[in-house]
């Protein structure tokens, strides 16, 4: 009789995400899944959308991926396709990422009889109230909700009304070694002098990111400092509006919108100052990359900022949504009393200890072990 011998078979865990195009949440999924020990976890990723670049990245790392082909959030039949796929694979636990995957995954996982469902809350959603209604309506199907910051955790408890004992905080991570190995950009590559003092914003061109506030706040400084330029790297629906704002302010030669970049760290390592001007967030990946680059930072007090910067850099955090506070922060950061190199070094040390993807993936593994019943 071998009844006392534990079952060493890896436990089946399914991950569900809305899409696998390169983005912050999508890359986070890849970093987490590929670092889970294969002798403990047998992972399979289910993507609601069509085939996308990160599906190949996962497969090349030995993680099976099933893409279900949904072309929009209105494809309700994807819930049934996911249900059937989960029934065939029979995972012991399902982890969902992002709004559409949370809703579809909770429903499909419940219908498929998945024993444990965990959802991922990656942003404190402020623009779509119906998102929050659907999160609340399906949230009871999940045994646990993983919030990426204390701010998102508070949002989950107060706005989504999830029980406090069902909310766990696990932040995003950053690959510090990869950041250190990445060379900086030469600003001449995008048409600026190589020696330019660049104020840098990175992100989707969307009102959430507050780039309109950043442009307005930086305008007087750009006019008085010919050595300075503002670069906003990203793409999105607000491009035409931002370009019109720049033209109206007469700053076409001083504010550049070069589009999306696959290597944001190159921009960060060349910048004089990285500015996170967001109106709301979850846990900004680009902030972690900036701190890993040892780049001075000015950030609004949105979700995730306090988790990373804490009390180490109070002068580098300003009120969100305020042009005057953002402008004062920019002026302070470029003065002798601005972001100190020692503060950047302290933040880097905190980051390299507590926010590596290895440590974050390990925390997910510990959570799954706690939630799954013993064999």
Interatomic CA distance for residues 46 and 267, integer angstroms: 33
Q: What pLDDT score was predicted for residue 2? A: 47
Answer yes or no: are the C-beta atoms of 219 and 246 closer than 8 Å: no
Q: What is residue 7's predicted lDDT score, i.e. its pLDDT? A: 67
Give pLDDT tens digits for 106-157.
999 999 999 999 999 988 877 677 788 999 999 999 999 999 999 999 999 9
Backbone angles phi, psi at 191, to 5 degrees: 95, 15
Q: Which two tokens stand for residue 269?
A: 């390592």
Spacing of C-alpha 93 from chain mean position: 23
Structure tokens at 216: 């307005």
8 A C-beta contact, residue 215 and residue 277: no
Mean pLDDT of the chain: 92
What DSSP element (H or E) covers 65?
strand 65-67
d(CA 4, CA 30): 36
Q: Which of 43-47, 229-233, 316-320, 346-350 has the lowest mean pLDDT?
A: 346-350
- Report the alpha-carbon distance of residue 278 to residue 91 in Å, rounded: 37
- Contact predicate 201/211, CB 8 Å: yes
pLDDT at 347 over 90: no
- The pair phi, psi for residue 239, each rounded to 5°, is -55, -50
- pLDDT of res. 1: 43
Angle at 291 between CA 289 and CA 296, to 5 degrees: 120
pTM of structure: 0.88
Share of the chain above pLDDT 70, in %: 96
Lowest mean pLDDT among 250-254, 310-314, 347-351: 310-314
- CA separation (Å) from 121 to 47, 67, 176, 180, 203? 17, 22, 24, 29, 19
Structural domains in the chain, sorted by start: 11-173+356-371 (3.40.50.2000), 176-354 (3.40.50.2000)
Cβ-based neighbours of 98, under 8 Å, separated by 6 or more: 17, 18, 25, 120, 122
Please tell me what DSSP assigns to residue 66.
E
Helix (H) or strand (E) holding 255: strand 255-256
Q: How far apart are CA 197 and CA 174, in angstroms?
A: 26
Q: Which two tokens stand for residue 155?
A: 């949002």
How many CB atoms sit inside 10 A of residue 266's CB? 18
- CA pseudo-torsion sign 316, 319, 325, 330: positive
Share of the chain above pLDDT 90, in %: 82
Strand order across the 255-256 sheet:
255-256, 228-233, 197-202, 273-276, 297-300, 317-318
CA neighbor of 187 nearest in space, from 252, 74, 270:
270
Per-residue pLDDT of 288-311, as tens digits, reads: 999 999 999 999 999 999 998 887
Q: Using 50, 70 and 90 to split pLDDT, how confident is the model at 71? A: confident
Examine the pLDDT at 5 and tell me if it is beyond 60. no
Q: What is the pLDDT of residues 247-279, one digit of tens each?
A: 999 999 999 999 999 899 999 999 999 999 999
Rounded Cα gap, residues 143 and 134, in angstroms: 16
Nearest CA among 346, 358, 304 for reference residue 152: 304
Burial of 212 (0-12, 13-18, 19+ CB in 10 A): middle
């Amino acid at each position: 009789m071998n009844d006392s011998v534990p079952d060493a078979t890896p436990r089946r865990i399914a991950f569900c995400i809305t899409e696998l195009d390169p983005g912050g949440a999508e890359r986070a999924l890849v970093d987490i899944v590929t670092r889970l020990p294969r002798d403990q976890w047998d992972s399979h990723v289910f993507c609601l959308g069509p085939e996308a670049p990160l599906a190949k990245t996962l497969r090349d790392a030995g993680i099976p991926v099933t893409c279900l082909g949904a072309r929009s959030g209105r494809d309700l039949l994807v819930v049934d396709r996911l249900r059937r796929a989960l029934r065939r694979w029979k995972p012991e636990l399902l982890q969902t990422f992002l709004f559409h995957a949370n809703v579809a995954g909770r429903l499909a996982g419940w219908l498929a009889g998945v024993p444990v469902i965990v959802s991922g809350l990656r942003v404190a959603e402020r623009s779509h109230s119906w998102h929050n209604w659907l999160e609340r309506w399906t949230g009871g199907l999940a045994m646990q909700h993983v919030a990426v910051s204390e701010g998102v955790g508070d949002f989950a408890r107060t706005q989504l009304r999830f029980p406090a004992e069902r909310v766990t905080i696990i932040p995003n991570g950053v690959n510090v070694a990869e950041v250190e190995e990445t060379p900086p950009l030469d600003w001449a590559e995008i048409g600026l002098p190589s020696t330019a003092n660049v104020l840098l914003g990175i992100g989707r061109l969307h009102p959430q990111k507050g780039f309109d506030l950043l442009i307005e706040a930086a305008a007087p400084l750009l006019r008085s400092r010919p050595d300075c330029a503002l670069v906003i790297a990203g793409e999105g629906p607000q491009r035409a509006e931002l370009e019109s704002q720049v033209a109206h302010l007469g700053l076409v030669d001083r504010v550049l919108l070069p589009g999306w970049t696959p290597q944001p760290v190159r921009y960060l390592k060349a910048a004089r100052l990285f500015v996170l001007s967001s109106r709301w967030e979850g846990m900004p990946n680009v902030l972690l990359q900036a701190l890993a680059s040892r780049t001075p930072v000015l950030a609004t007090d949105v979700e995730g900022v306090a988790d990373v910067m804490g009390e180490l850099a109070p002068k580098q955090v300003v009120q969100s949504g305020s042009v005057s506070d953002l402008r004062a922060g920019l002026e302070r950061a470029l003065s002798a009393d601005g972001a100190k190199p020692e503060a950047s070094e302290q933040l880097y040390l905190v980051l390299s200890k507590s926010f590596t993807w290895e440590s974050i993936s390990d925390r997910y593994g510990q959570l799954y072990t706690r939630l799954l019943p013993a064999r």
